[in-house]
Amino acid sequence: MRICIVGAGAMGSLFACFLSKTGEELWLLDKHRERADKISKDGLIVEGISGDHIVHVNQTTNPGDIGEADLIIICVKAYDTEKATKDVMPLMGKDTFLLTLQNGFGNVETISKIVGRDKVIGGTTSQGATVLGPGHIRHAGIGETTIGELDGKPSKRINIISDIFNSAGIETKITDDVEGLIWSKLLINVGINALTAVLRLRNGELVEHEPARGVLRASVEEAMSVVEVKGIKVAYDNPVRKVEDVCRATATNISSMLQDVLGAKKTEIGYINGAIVDEGKRLGVPVPVNTTLTSLVKTIEMSYGKRL
């Protein structure tokens, strides 16, 4: 199988490291020429809880170098989803399918509009990784990866992906409820990402300080109010406890949003807490804590270079 991972950030690099062990033909497609050249020269450098590795993979910034792919894994930021999907159209064949393992709300819909809903598989991962430099990451948290067909039906291609991922050491399960899966992951991101970015704390530190823990709880409870009105079933009975458990399980991880803030980069706030704000407005559900967190992170973004 020819697999193309789109995006050589923390998660794309981590999955490339794992999947390089499978014997499948693997490509890493990166929009950043300098990073792509460094990975081509020095390999992907991965350290952390899964050990230290230097992995050499096929690396390019030109989709035309790859040819027709069997599986395309989208690992870019949510705000880059549309462009990344259009960029991989030269890789699309009759039987090509795309898997999204991204954070945030709306990625499945964006990809489906471009390639067709039948080509798309939804997924989430609780693996944690931190970028240390171009082509250099730390594996900071081990978590489950879950994938599923959008119509909830079993399929041969879902089983193939699951088998490949599990053989690579990526613990992977299959779901028949992708919508519930994505919203379940969104609740976790809602509780962790913006708060770590504002407070500049690692995941585990959020539950060590009661004031922060209180904001975490309130943001998740608000999001659950939206989920309940939408009639979506999430994957756990107590969402607040689940988010706190994830904080502890990924205690040393620097969330993706905090990594963006520390690097003075655009964040995915509009697709995480901002998505709760948008849905809350649409449904008439008050979400003041998520509104405040969204406003704070947007202000941080707008004030890069001006902070004392």
Active site residues: 185
| Report field, pTM of the whole predicted structure over 0.85 | yes
Give the CA dihedral 236, 295, 129, 201, nearest 10 degrees. Answer: -90
Bridge partners for 58 per DSSP: 27
Q: How many Cα atoms within 13 Å fall on the side-chain side of residue 10? A: 24
Instruction: Tell me the average pLDDT of the chain.
Output: 95
Residue range 112-160, pLDDT digits in tens: 999 999 999 999 998 989 899 999 999 988 889 999 999 999 999 999 9
169 and 243 share a domain? no
pLDDT at 290: 98
pLDDT at 142: 86
Round to whole Å and give the CA distance between 136 and 192: 24
pLDDT band at 4 (very low <50, low <70, confident <90, very high): very high
pLDDT at 307: 74
Question: b vs e for 143-168, b when ≥16 Cβ sit within 10 Å of the residue's Cβ?
Answer: bebbbbbeeeeeeeebeebbebbeeb
Residues 6+ apart with CB under 8 A from 95: 70
Please say if the pLDDT value at position 308 is more than 80: no
Range in 89-93, 142-146, 149-153, 299-303 with the lowest mean pLDDT: 142-146
pLDDT at 140: 86
185 and 143 share a domain? no
Round to whole Å and give the CA distance between 143 and 131: 18
pLDDT band at 241 (very low <50, low <70, confident <90, very high): very high
7 and 133 share a domain? yes
Q: How many Cα atoms within 13 Å fall on the side-chain side of residue 209? A: 14
Taking residues 258-280, what's their average pLDDT? Answer: 97
307 domain residue, yes or no? no
Which CATH number goes with the domain that contains 66?
3.40.50.720
pLDDT at 306: 86
Taking residues 47-59, what's their average pLDDT? Answer: 94
Which CATH number goes with the domain that contains 218?
1.10.1040.10
pLDDT band at 245 (very low <50, low <70, confident <90, very high): very high
Of 176, 195, 218, the residue at which a domain comes to its end is: 176
Residues 190, 225 contacting (CB under 8 angstroms): no
308 domain residue, yes or no? no
Query: In percent, how much of the chain has pLDDT > 90?
Result: 94
Round to whole Å and give the CA distance between 184 and 202: 21
Expressed as residue numbers, the domain containing 288 is 180-302
pLDDT at 253: 87
pLDDT at 151: 95
Taking residues 263-280, what's their average pLDDT? Answer: 97
76 and 171 share a domain? yes
96 and 236 share a domain? no
151 and 201 share a domain? no
Query: In percent, how much of the chain has pLDDT > 70?
Result: 100
41 and 147 share a domain? yes
Taking residues 197-217, what's their average pLDDT? Answer: 97
Structurally, the chain folds into a number of domains equal to 2
Taking residues 56-65, what's their average pLDDT? Answer: 94
Please say if the pLDDT value at position 16 is more than 80: yes
8 and 100 share a domain? yes
Residue holding tokens 């999430």?
Answer: 234
Round to whole Å and give the CA distance between 94 and 251: 43
- Residue ranges with strand state E in 7-63: 25-29, 44-48, 53-55, 58-60
